């Protein structure tokens, strides 16, 4: 008897028609969505150009090379004949300064407040709680106006002609000039070109980073204290001192002095009340949010880590510095990044106190007849660059800080 091996017959599955195929529907849906967005954008752009042409408004960016026909407060180097692109540069600079120093203030205050919220001292903990609940529940615009109107313009500081002058100890040089309009602090006056000085300082920065990595490897291999920060700062300061004397002292210290007619401050670095109002207000407001982020991140560190630190006889400051905070920062950095971005964008509220940041200057330019669409496209582009740059840097730091599983 012979047996025949029969090939198993595969049953052909009936394929659905193309108009019911999920993959086809997804592709077609995405194509239609893109076409709809492009179509709406094209329609809006055409209407915009048509309306601008009808009103006689130029659609080009040539207006950037025309005169501003306005002055910028507290900026003697700018005049109404300067082109608008220089006004944009001044606005970008002022926005950057307010954001930079605001982030520093918010970071320091947020760290202090976050740790103080967990303090065993009843008074310290309650004061930190009051700080958080006070600033976190008030709009930042109100805080900015409060500092601008109630602290500086109509606050406890004297008028300019009666400025307080605080001398540097054992000298006749002014360390600080205080009034309700602008403050004078020591600065530097440039004598020669500083390009070579900055190049040498940049080399020192690179060497400092290499020293930081070297001390990190020494710590990982031997367990010896790395002192990375001291090495980094010491190398940069050393390069700066060498460059300063090697290049023949290209700048010197400038002390603030009130002019004889007591109408201006000569020398030093001048800080106006608008800048201080925006920086301090946004720094304190953002610090209330960062403080809560720090507190939650510390609580997220397993309590066994603190017990282990106590077991090896670490003090409270050493426990926070070497054990708790390094782990808490890994948790706190991503949400803190969002607060930094909010602070940068909130600098646009400086227009309420007359601070010459980018948005305020652009509003003035538009009020003088410049095209609004192109002007605010530039403003949005600048804020986008600021935000993306901060995100890029902090996301890089965040990836470097995260633990790598092996």
Indicate if 355 and 384 belong to the same structural domain: yes
Q: Are residues 132 and 199 in the same domain?
A: no
Q: Are residues 272 and 355 in the same domain?
A: yes
The answer to whether residues 196 and 329 belong to one domain is no
Which of 238, 254, 270 marks a domain boundary? Answer: 254
Question: Which residue range is the domain that position 200 belongs to?
Answer: 192-254
The residue with tokens 């002609």 is 161
Residue 162 lies in a domain: yes
Does the pLDDT value for residue 38 go beyond 90? yes
- Of 91, 159, 96, 151, residue with least CA distance to 355: 91
pLDDT tier, 74 (very low <50, low <70, confident <90, very high otherwise):
confident
Q: Which of 254, 274, 299 is the last residue of a domain?
A: 254
Does 252 have pLDDT greater than 60? yes
pTM (global) more than 0.85: no
- Contact between 265 and 258 under an 8 Å Cβ cutoff? The reply is yes
- Asked if residue 141 is part of any domain, the answer here is yes
Per-residue pLDDT band for 64 (boundaries 50, 70, 90) equals confident
pLDDT-based confidence at residue 373 (cuts at 50, 70, 90):
confident
Boundary residue ending a domain (201, 220, 254) = 254
In this structure, is residue 22 part of a structural domain?
no
Residue-level pLDDT at 404: 56
Distance CA 68, CA 65 (A): 9
Cα 33 to Cα 40, 41, 47, 69, distances in angstroms: 11, 12, 21, 45
179 and 245 part of one domain: no
Q: Is the pLDDT of residue 261 over 90?
A: no
Predicted pLDDT of residue 267: 84
- My answer on whether 109 and 224 are in the same domain is no
Residues 269-290: tens digit of each pLDDT: 888 899 999 999 999 999 999 9
Q: Residue 48: its pLDDT value, please?
A: 85
Higher-scoring residue by pLDDT: 196, 306: 196
Assess contact for 273 and 153: CB atoms under 8 A: yes
Establish if 10 belongs to a structural domain. no
241, 288: one domain = no
What's the whole-number mean pLDDT along residues 157-181? 86
Rounded CA separation 62/186 (Å)? 40
């Amino acid at each position: 008897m012979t047996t025949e091996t029969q090939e198993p017959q595969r049953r052909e599955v009936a394929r659905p028609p193309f108009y019911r195929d999920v993959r086809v529907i997804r592709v077609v849906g995405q194509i239609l969505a893109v076409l709809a967005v492009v179509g709406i954008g094209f329609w809006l752009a055409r209407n915009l150009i048509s309306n601008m042409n009808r009103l006689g408004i130029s659609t080009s960016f040539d207006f950037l090379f025309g005169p501003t026909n306005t002055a910028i407060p507290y900026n003697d180097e700018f005049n109404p004949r300067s082109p608008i692109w220089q006004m944009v540069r001044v606005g970008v600079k002022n926005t950057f300064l307010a954001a930079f120093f605001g982030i520093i203030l918010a970071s320091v205050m947020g760290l202090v407040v976050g740790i103080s919220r967990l303090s065993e001292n009843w008074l310290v903990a309650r004061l930190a709680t009051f700080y958080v609940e006070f600033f976190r529940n008030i709009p930042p615009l109100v805080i900015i106006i409060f500092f601008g109107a109630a602290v500086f313009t109509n606050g406890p500081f004297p008028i300019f002609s009666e400025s307080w002058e605080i001398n540097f100890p054992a000298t006749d040089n002014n360390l600080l000039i205080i009034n309700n309009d602008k403050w004078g602090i020591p600065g530097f006056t440039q004598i020669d070109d500083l390009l070579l000085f900055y190049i040498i300082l940049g080399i020192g920065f690179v060497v400092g980073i290499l020293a930081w990595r070297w001390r990190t490897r020494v710590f990982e291999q031997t367990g010896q204290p790395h002192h990375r920060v001291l090495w980094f700062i010491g190398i940069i300061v050393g390069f700066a001192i060498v460059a300063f004397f090697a290049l023949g002292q290209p700048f010197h210290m400038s002390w603030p002095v009130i002019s004889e007619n007591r109408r201006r401050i000569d020398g030093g670095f001048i800080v106006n009340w608008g800048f201080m109002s925006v920086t301090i207000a946004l720094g304190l407001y953002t610090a209330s949010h960062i403080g809560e982020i720090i507190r939650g991140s510390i609580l997220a560190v397993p309590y066994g880590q603190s017990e282990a630190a106590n077991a090896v006889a670490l003090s409270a400051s050493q426990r926070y510095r070497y054990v708790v905070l390094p782990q808490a920062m890994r948790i706190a950095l991503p949400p803190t990044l969002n607060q930094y971005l909010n602070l940068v964008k909130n600098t646009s509220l400086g227009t309420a106190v007359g601070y010459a940041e980018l948005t305020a200057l652009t509003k003035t330019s538009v009020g003088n007849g410049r095209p609004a669409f192109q002007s605010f496209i530039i403003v949005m582009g600048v804020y986008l660059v600021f935000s993306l740059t901060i995100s890029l840097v902090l996301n890089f730091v965040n990836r470097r800080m995260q633990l790598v599983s092996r």
